[in-house]
Amino acid sequence: MEYRFNENNFTEEVINSNIPVMIDFYAEWCGPCRMMSPIVGQFAKEYEGRVKIGKINVDEQSELAFRYGVQSIPSFIFIKDGKVIDRVTGAMPKALLNTYLENLAKSA
């Protein structure tokens, strides 16, 4: 399941999550974000129960984007126990994003 994170659910779904979290910071108008979207959606299903995968629209949730220092999109932030443990910016091959997710899942 692909989550939609926002100010209202962020603490519960991300900071207090009992499993690691990957956040995809994106915008509707962003071409590279649209390229990554189906890949992120696929991984959300594959990693369900091991990694919580969700999106934050930077236009609608600019405070969260600012809080996490997102200056370019897409940006992927990997969180464990409420703390950022890794981050990567830009579109990337599916295999590379999978490597980041595998490392995150193993850290659990």
pLDDT tens-digit map of 9-24: 999 999 999 999 999 9
**Binning pLDDT at 50, 70 and 90, where does residue 1 land?**
confident
7 is catalytic: no
The active-site residue, picked from 22, 30, 56, 97, is: 30
pLDDT digits (tens, 9 = 90+) for 44-76: 999 999 999 999 999 999 999 999 999 999 999
Examine the residue annotation and report whether 38 is marked as an active-site residue of this protein. no
Tokens, residue 3: 């989550």
Question: How confident is the model at residue 19, as a pLDDT?
Answer: 97
Give the chain's domain count: 1
Sheet with 52-57: list strands edge to edge. Answer: 2-4, 52-57, 21-26, 75-80, 83-89
- Is the pTM higher than 0.75? The answer reads yes
CATH number (domain holding residue 53): 3.40.30.10
Quick one: pLDDT at residue 47? Answer: 97
Choose the catalytic residue: 14, 22, 23, 33. Answer: 33
Mean pLDDT within 24-50 = 97
Strand residue runs (E) in 1-108:
2-4, 21-26, 52-57, 75-80, 83-89
CA distance 41 to 21: 14
State which residues form the domain around 90: 2-106
